[in-house]
């Protein structure tokens, strides 16, 4: 058998969409070019961890944003204990995910863990959590990146939302072009940020020890968040403040699961390498969090109501001062912060489409999400993610503070599913040390569930209610979509025990629905004659009597040997009329089968939808409901054929096509 390639075929001019894709996205890639890039541990650490490490830029600030209005200046003393508890949770999550990456070395993270241990339906809880997480990740990271930019360049403040939305669109566009070979660039941004924040922390410690750091007068900063006046240590208010501050502080742990979602990109042995990188990432994150939190305490850096300048920007300014060297270092801190935050947003664009394709393969999301596009990326998933993130940014005004409650609920729900799933894994497999590992994962699952509960209670009126509503709706939608796919599969798939009947039915009757005499009808008639049916009949449903008369006259003028049956349809309900015709044919000819051919004229994808209806699809759907009846749509591309024929040559082309059909009919009848 000879396999033909595109070079063997006649050259076909590219369509308008193809031309646009080449112009904006570049040359298409072939499937053979789809190779996963295996990363060394240093590159993997820098390329996969921006989402987690970048949370240092906004995590402590979100704690202070909540504490200062509730407990006043005591907030600076409470920040370090709260971050300390967050670090304990970080250690627990790291211990849990160290086991995940060893047990499941394929991409998918908590979704794969939940699916393998609880089945695909329960795993949709993890799916909903991760999908929400990825959408909000893109929104939060780009919004925080814009804060870093505008903090350094205040003149851009009026355009902050526009900058954020534009950055989402640009990142999406870059991914549509393909960013598979950008790991080293992403790693550079991560290491630059870690270096600059480390330098800030070390410089701050040295200055505090020998000279003393300058402190902001938090109670008199114009534009800062309001500060509660008084002692602040009132039992009820303090408990509420601690819960809300703790909830916001846990936003610093977002991204810890990123490595478990991409274990497959590590070099062999994948599990041990991923575990090492995860441990190093957690250590870096913990160091940066405690360092920035201490600098916040030491300098009394205060968040602003409109989030500009950022608290990290204030810390860098206090640590480095206003001299030439200080200004340069300050700008480097802001530049590295913006770079890692925008890179962290790209983590969502790497994770969402891949997860959506996994879930779609399990038939819980639409199948188009499994298709790779022009540049071998999941284009539909990328565009969907960008649209959802932009919508979320527009609703929240691009505010990081408004987005954080939406952020952490999805993240910690995924943590909980991973913890419970790994607990079930250890109870089932009982490998060496399984009891200790099961306790760690169960504790991680319970702790994550508690954090979700705290978020729901403490932040319900501040945006968490939206996730509480959307989450079950999304899970239900995933389940409902899967049920629809399973229902369709049960109709289309035959039992393996049944022997399919492939022989030609001796009493097949074919109807070709015609509305005019043109090349599309000719193509349908040619196809119908090739079916070698016992009876071939053209059918026209009369909606306009004058049009029907002209059709009959023209039919006779072309001297067709296929009979034309005209059926009156006074109520213009064509789908029902077609169904009644088929039912009557089956009743008049017991034991027969009926095939209906419906010509479909395809036009330009945009104007065609607006200028022409989809009557053929509706009629085909109605006919297909009848037992022993089949509806086949015969497409005819008007744009590529009619446009190449001169208007005065149409009748000649039509006559030639009719002659070919009649010759074919004569040959079939002679046989």
Neighbour order of strands in the sheet with 535-542: 564-568, 535-542, 508-513, 593-602, 629-637
What would the mean pLDDT of 311-315 be, rounded to a whole number?
Answer: 92
Distance between CA 274 and CA 102 in Å, rounded? 8
| Residues composing the chain | 671
Query: From residue 137, how far is each of 60, 85, 254 by CA, in Å?
Result: 17, 23, 8
| Average pLDDT of span 322-341 | 92
- Category of 363 on φ-ψ map: left (φ > 0), alpha (ψ -120 to 50) or beta: left
- Give the dihedral of Cα atoms 511, 517, 522, 523; nearest 10 deg: -80
H/E segment holding residue 593 = strand 593-602
User: Any long-range contacts for 121-126 (C-beta under 8 Å, 24+ apart)?
Assistant: 121/479, 121/482, 123/417, 124/359, 124/364, 124/475, 124/478, 124/479, 125/413, 125/417, 125/475, 126/413, 126/414, 126/417, 126/418, 126/421
Q: Which structure tokens are listed for 29?
A: 């890639």
Please state the rounded mean pLDDT for residues 431-454: 87
Encode pLDDT of 355-367 as tens digits.
888 888 888 888 8
* Alpha carbon of residue 422 to chain centroid: 26
Q: Do you find a cis peptide bond into 71, omega within 30 degrees of 0?
A: no
Return the axis-axis angle of helices 270-299 and 311-320, rounded to nearest 10°: 70
Looking at residues 107-111, what average pLDDT do you find?
75
How many CA atoms lie within 13 Å of 639's alpha carbon, on the beta-carbon side? 11
pLDDT of residue 206: 94
Out of 214-218, 247-251, 536-540, 649-653, pick the least confident. Answer: 649-653
At residue 495, the pLDDT reads 45
What per-residue confidence (pLDDT) applies to 146?
A: 92
pLDDT band for position 646 (cuts 50, 70, 90): very low
pLDDT for the residue 299:
93
Segment 593-635, tens digit of pLDDT: 888 888 877 655 554 454 445 677 788 888 888 888 888 888 7
Cα distance between residue 486 and residue 276, in whole Å: 41
Q: How far is CA 366 from CA 99, 329, 384, in A?
A: 32, 49, 12
- Say yes or no to pLDDT of 474 above 70: yes
Query: Residue 3 has what pLDDT?
Result: 40
pLDDT of residue 163: 93
Q: Range with the lowest mean pLDDT among 136-150, 375-389, 495-509?
A: 495-509
Q: Which pTM does this prediction carry?
A: 0.74
| CB neighbours of residue 464 within 10 Å | 22
Assess whether pLDDT exceeds 50 at residue 257. Answer: yes
In this prediction, residue 180 carries a pLDDT of: 52
Q: Confidence band (pLDDT; 50, 70, 90) for 19?
A: low
Q: Say whether pLDDT at 23 is over 60.
A: no
Q: How far is CA 560 from the centre of its chain?
A: 54
3-state DSSP assignment of residue 384? helix
| Cα 421 to chain centroid, rounded | 24
The SS3 of residue 3 is: coil
CA distance 265 to 275: 13
3-state secondary structure of 190: helix
Q: What is the pLDDT of residues 544-584, one digit of tens each?
A: 788 788 888 888 877 567 888 888 877 777 888 888 888 88
Q: Which residue has the higher pLDDT, 569 or 407?
A: 569
How confident is the model at residue 484, as a pLDDT? 81
Radius of gyration of the chain (CA): 33
Backbone angles phi, psi at 211, to 5 degrees: -125, -25
Q: Which residues pair with 354 in a beta bridge?
A: none
502: pLDDT confidence band, cut at 50, 70 and 90?
very low
CA distance 640 to 647: 14
Most confident of 104-118, 161-175, 249-263, 552-566: 161-175
What average pLDDT is seen over the chain? Answer: 79
CA 199 distance to own-chain centroid: 37
CA neighbor of 337 nearest in space, from 296, 370, 309, 359: 309
State mean pLDDT over 324-349: 90
Q: Between 270 and 613, whose confidence is greater? A: 270
* pLDDT (average), residues 415-436: 88
User: Which tokens sit at 142?
Assistant: 């780009």
């Amino acid at each position: 058998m000879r396999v033909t390639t595109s070079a063997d075929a006649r050259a076909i001019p590219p369509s308008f969409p193809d031309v646009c894709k080449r112009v904006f996205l570049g040359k298409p890639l072939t499937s053979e070019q789809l190779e996963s890039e295996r990363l060394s541990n240093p590159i993997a650490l820098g390329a996969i961890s921006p989402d987690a490490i970048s949370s240092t830029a906004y995590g402590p600030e979100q704690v202070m944003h909540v504490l200062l209005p509730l407990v006043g200046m005591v907030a600076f003393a409470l920040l370090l204990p709260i971050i300390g508890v967050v670090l304990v949770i970080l250690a627990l999550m790291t211990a849990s995910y160290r086991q995940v990456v060893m047990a499941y070395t394929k991409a998918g993270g908590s979704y794969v863990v939940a699916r393998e241990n609880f089945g695909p339906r329960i795993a949709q809880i993890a799916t909903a959590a991760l999908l929400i997480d990825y959408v909000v990740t893109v929104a939060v990271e780009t919004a925080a990146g814009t804060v870093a930019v505008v903090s350094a360049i205040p003149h851009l403040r009026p355009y902050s939302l526009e900058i954020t939305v534009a950055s989402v669109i640009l990142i999406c566009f870059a991914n549509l072009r393909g960013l598979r070979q950008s790991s080293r660039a992403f790693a550079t941004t991560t290491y630059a940020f870690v270096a600059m924040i480390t330098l800030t922390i070390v410089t701050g410690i040295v200055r505090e020890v020998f000279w003393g750091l300058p402190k902001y007068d938090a109670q008199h900063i114009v534009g800062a968040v309001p500060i509660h006046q008084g002692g602040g240590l009132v039992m009820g208010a303090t408990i509420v403040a601690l819960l809300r501050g703790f909830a916001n502080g846990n936003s610093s742990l977002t991204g810890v699961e990123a490595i478990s979602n991409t274990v497959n990109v590590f070099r062999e042995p994948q599990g041990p390498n991923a575990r090492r990188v995860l441990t190093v990432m957690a250590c870096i994150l913990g160091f940066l969090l405690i360092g920035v939190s201490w600098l916040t305490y030491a300098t009394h850096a205060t968040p602003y109501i409109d989030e500009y300048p950022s608290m990290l920007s204030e810390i860098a300014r206090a640590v480095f001062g206003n001299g030439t060297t200080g200004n340069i270092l300050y700008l480097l801190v802001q530049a590295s912060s913006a770079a890692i935050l925008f890179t962290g947003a790209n983590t969502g664009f790497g994770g969402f489409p891949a997860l959506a394709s996994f879930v779609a393969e399990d038939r819980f999301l639409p199948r188009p999400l499994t298709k790779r596009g022009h540049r071998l990326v999941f284009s539909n998933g990328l565009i969907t993610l960008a649209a959802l993130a932009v919508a979320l940014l527009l609703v929240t005004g691009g505010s990081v503070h408004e987005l954080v409650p939406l952020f952490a609920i999805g993240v910690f729900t995924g943590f909980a599913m991973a913890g419970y799933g790994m607990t079930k894994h250890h109870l089932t497999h009982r490998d060496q040390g399984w009891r200790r590992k099961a306790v760690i994962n169960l504790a991680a699952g319970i702790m994550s569930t508690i954090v979700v509960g705290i978020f729901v209670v403490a932040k319900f009126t501040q945006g968490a209610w939206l996730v509480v509503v959307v989450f079950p709706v999304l899970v239900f939608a995933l389940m409902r979509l899967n049920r629809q796919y399973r229902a369709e599969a049960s109709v289309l798939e035959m039992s393996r025990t049944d022997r399919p009947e492939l022989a030609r039915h001796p009493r097949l009757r074919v109807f070709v629905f015609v509305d005019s005499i043109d090349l599309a009808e000719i193509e349908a008639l040619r196809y119908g004659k090739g079916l070698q049916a016992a009876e071939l009949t053209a059918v026209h449903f009369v909606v306009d009597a004058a049009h029907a008369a002209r059709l009959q006259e023209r039919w006779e003028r072309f001297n067709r040997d296929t009979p034309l049956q005209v059926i009156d349809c006074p109520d213009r309900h064509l789908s029902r009329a077609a169904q009644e015709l088929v039912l009557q044919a089956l009743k008049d000819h017991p034991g027969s089968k009926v095939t209906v051919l419906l010509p479909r004229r395809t036009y330009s994808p945009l104007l065609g939808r607006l200028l022409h209806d989809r009557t053929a699809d509706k009629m085909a759907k109605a006919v297909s409901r009848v037992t022993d009846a089949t509806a086949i749509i015969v497409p005819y591309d008007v744009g590529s054929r009619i446009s190449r024929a001169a208007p005065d040559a149409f009748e000649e082309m039509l006559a030639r096509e009719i002659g070919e059909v009649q010759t074919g009919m004569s040959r079939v009848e002679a046989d």
